[in-house]
Structure formats: structure tokens, C-alpha cells
């Protein structure tokens, strides 16, 4: 008799992981649910309690065992501490990518294997193939490979993405047809530990307000800001700078002087750059031969942008874009693609202004 494979499903309390567990159960696998608690908040802002209740109801509905795992300590040490360190430097990190790397596909995967599972499955919109490469999901509007680029082939050998070949509408329909309580649950957005709170309010619990000047590129003082850490490149809302002409946007930050630099207009040249450098490079498979013509995203949901990876020197990768990119943000990720194959990515170090932008800024 052939023994059934056992698959542990990371269950968040959302519709995607619920349907992932259901589909695997219907396919005849031994399925166990794993619920992670990654954040403990005395203010009760994180939705962990409601999410766990939904996981419990789904597991009982499809008749699978479940475990609760508390990774709060590890999350704070491996993810939140790094997030806070970058914010204190006035940078804009992406903790979701680090969470996937250090928590979901490391600690959770290890726990799944310890429990006797052959694979870990999650509700991410992504796919893999027989060569254990990372591929975009069928539903490109929901594709999450941008957040998964740090996973290499050794990890992907042990990972399944059951809904990667489904549209989101199909996932919700399956959940409703099978009477899962999560079928119409709103998708989670943002960062778990911030929850429904204002980002600035949350961050102020850890980083004190340090007022400084808003300045133009020419050094003219426009007003006061509450702290470099609370603003990001390309930001428009919350600046409270009025006056004539176009809206003001954040185009730079001078952390040493505690200055946030602003310029008017959504298409101001200072918002654009046609090249960048990045660090902390990871590849899903082996490093490709360079120079490489491919495409990249510098933020989630951005359309693929044609680019050339020119070279890697001393751990720094040099990337040129066919067209200038808007609001390239240090400590966000750049993720590389060959059509639907995710090649890997890196953490943005700094943008390099295009000749066009430099000429406009300098008045030539």
C-alpha cells in the first residue's frame, strides 16, 4: 500500500490558505493546519484572535488537525528589529519579504517537517515547476512572487502553492461552494503588526518625533516635518504643504540634517532615475550570466519594466532601465523576471538619476 503524503498548510485565517487546505484534502493528502502567531499586541490591534477562530472553523469543517505556533519572539528578533533599524535610518524597508524568508519558509517549514509533513503549502499566488523554479501565478493581478524571491530551489522543493493556477474569483467561489466561513472575508492589507492603526502613529511608539525642515531642492524651507522616518520617496499625502501650483512630493531625504526634500508635480524629474544599485542579492537558481537583459519590478503590482543587469561588483548589483523609473526607494526590493520566471532579487541601495533628470534639476 502506498502511503499518503502529508502536507502541512500554513493557515492565516484567510480565504486563500483555507482553499489551499481544502484542495489538498480533496486530492487525498493527509493535511494538517498550522496557524502562526507572529505578533503580540497589548493594544489588540492585530487580528490574530479572529484569524485563529476562522482557522479553527475551517479545519473543523474539512476535518483536519491543526496546531498553533507562536513565533512572536523570533519575529521581533528577525523581522521587526531589522524593520525598526531601517526606519530609524530614514529608510523604507519591506518586512513582508523578510517574514517570508526568516519565518514562513524557514521556521514554519522546519516545524512542518518536524511534525512529519513531506511538504509545506501556503496560500500564496505563485507557482513552481518540475525544476523547482518560481513562476508567476495564473492571476497576475494577485501574483506574489515579488514577496517570495528569496526562496531558492532547495526550499521550493519542499513547498507547494495549491492556488497558483486559480484566479482569485475562482478561489472565493470554491470557498463558498464548500461552505467555508472565509469565502467572503476581506483580504488582509499592510503589515500585520500595524493593523488598522495609522503607520505614523504606530512607528512613533518606537521612534520619537524629531521635527525638521521640509526643503526644496534649492534649499528653500517650506515648513516642518515630524521626522525623516515617517516619510517615503514619492509620498504626497500628509505633507500639509499648501500654496500655488502642483502638489508637493517627497523626492529625497537628508538624514544627517534631518531634512525631507520636496518638489512640485507628480512628474518632477527628481522623482525619476534610470538606473540603481542594490545589495543582499539572492537567486532562485544559479546566478545568471551577465550582462543580462530581463525585466524587473521595484514595487509590488508594478508592471514588469525592461532592464539590463550590467554587473555585480563587491556584492553590489548594477541595473539600468530602458525607461526612467519613478520613486525608486532605498531598502525596498527589486525583483528580476525572465517572462513568467522569477529569477531572484535584491535590496535597493540607491537610485542613479537619469541624465534627463539631472539636466532638468540643474537647469541645463
Q: Cβ–Cβ contacts within 10 Å for residue 267, how many?
A: 9
Per-residue pLDDT, averaged over 192-208, amounts to 80
So where are the chain's domains?
6-177, 212-264, 271-362
| pTM summary value | 0.93
Q: Which of 15, 21, 14, 35 has the alpha carbon at shortest distance from 64?
A: 21
| Tens digits of residue pLDDT in 16-67 | 999 999 999 999 999 999 999 988 765 545 567 888 999 999 999 999 999 9
Residue 248 has pLDDT above 80, yes or no: yes
CATH class for the domain made up of 271-362: mainly beta
Q: CB-hemisphere CA count at 13 Å for 317?
A: 25
| Tens digits of residue pLDDT in 131-154 | 999 999 999 999 999 999 999 999
75 to 104, 212, 244: CA distances (angstroms): 10, 32, 46
Catalytic position from the list 59, 192, 307, 342: 192
Residues 6+ apart with CB under 8 A from 149: 97, 134, 282, 284, 333, 335, 336, 342, 344, 345
C-alpha to C-alpha distance for 317 and 311, rounded to whole angstroms: 6
Q: Residue 187: its pLDDT value, please?
A: 85
99 is catalytic: yes
Q: Residue 251: its pLDDT value, please?
A: 95
Catalytic position from the list 59, 87, 99, 342: 99
Q: Residue 361: its pLDDT value, please?
A: 44
- Secondary structure letter of residue 77 according to DSSP: I
- For 6-177, CATH gives 3.40.50.620
Domain 212-264, classified CATH 2.30.30.280, yes or no? yes
Amino acid at each position: 500500500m502506498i502511503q499518503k503524503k502529508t502536507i502541512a498548510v500554513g493557515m492565516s485565517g484567510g480565504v486563500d490558505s483555507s482553499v489551499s487546505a481544502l484542495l489538498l484534502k480533496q486530492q487525498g493528502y493527509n493535511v494538517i493546519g498550522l496557524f502562526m502567531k507572529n505578533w503580540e499586541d497589548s493594544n489588540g490591534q492585530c487580528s490574530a484572535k479572529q484569524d485563529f477562530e476562522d482557522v479553527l472553523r475551517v479545519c473543523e469543517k474539512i476535518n483536519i488537525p491543526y496546531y498553533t505556533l507562536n513565533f512572536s519572539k523570533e519575529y521581533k528578533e528577525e523581522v521587526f528589529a531589522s524593520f525598526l533599524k531601517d526606519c530609524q535610518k530614514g529608510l523604507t524597508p519591506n518586512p513582508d519579504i523578510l517574514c517570508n524568508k526568516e519565518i514562513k519558509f524557514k521556521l514554519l517549514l522546519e516545524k512542518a517537517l518536524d511534525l512529519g509533513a513531506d511538504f509545506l503549502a501556503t496560500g500564496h499566488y505563485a507557482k513552481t515547476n518540475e525544476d523547482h523554479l518560481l513562476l508567476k501565478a495564473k492571476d497576475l493581478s494577485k501574483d506574489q512572487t515579488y514577496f517570495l524571491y528569496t526562496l531558492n530551489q532547495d526550499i521550493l522543493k519542499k513547498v507547494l502553492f495549491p492556488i497558483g493556477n486559480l484566479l482569485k474569483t475562482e478561489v472565493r467561489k470554491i470557498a463558498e461552494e464548500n461552505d467555508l466561513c472565509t469565502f467572503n472575508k476581506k483580504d488582509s492589507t499592510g503589515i500585520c503588526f500595524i493593523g488598522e492603526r495609522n503607520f505614523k502613529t504606530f512607528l512613533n511608539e518606537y521612534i520619537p518625533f524629531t521635527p525638521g525642515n521640509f526643503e526644496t531642492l534649492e534649499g528653500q524651507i517650506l515648513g516642518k516635518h515630524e521626522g525623516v522616518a515617517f516619510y517615503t520617496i514619492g509620498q504626497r499625502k500628509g505633507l500639509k504643504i499648501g500654496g500655488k501650483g502642483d502638489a508637493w512630493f517627497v523626492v529625497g531625504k537628508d538624514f544627517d540634517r534631518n531634512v525631507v526634500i520636496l518638489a512640485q508635480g507628480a512628474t518632477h524629474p527628481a522623482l525619476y532615475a534610470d538606473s540603481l544599485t542594490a545589495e543582499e542579492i539572492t537567486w532562485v537558481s544559479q546566478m545568471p550570466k551577465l550582462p543580462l537583459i530581463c525585466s524587473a519590478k521595484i514595487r509590488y503590482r508594478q508592471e514588469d519594466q525592461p532592464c539590463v543587469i550590467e554587473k555585480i561588483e563587491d556584492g553590489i548589483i548594477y541595473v539600468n532601465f530602458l525607461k526612467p523609473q519613478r520613486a525608486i526607494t532605498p531598502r525596498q526590493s527589486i525583483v528580476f523576471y525572465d517572462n513568467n520566471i522569477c529569477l531572484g532579487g535584491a535590496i535597493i541601495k540607491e537610485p542613479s538619476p537619469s541624465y534627463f533628470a539631472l539636466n532638468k534639476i540643474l537647469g541645463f
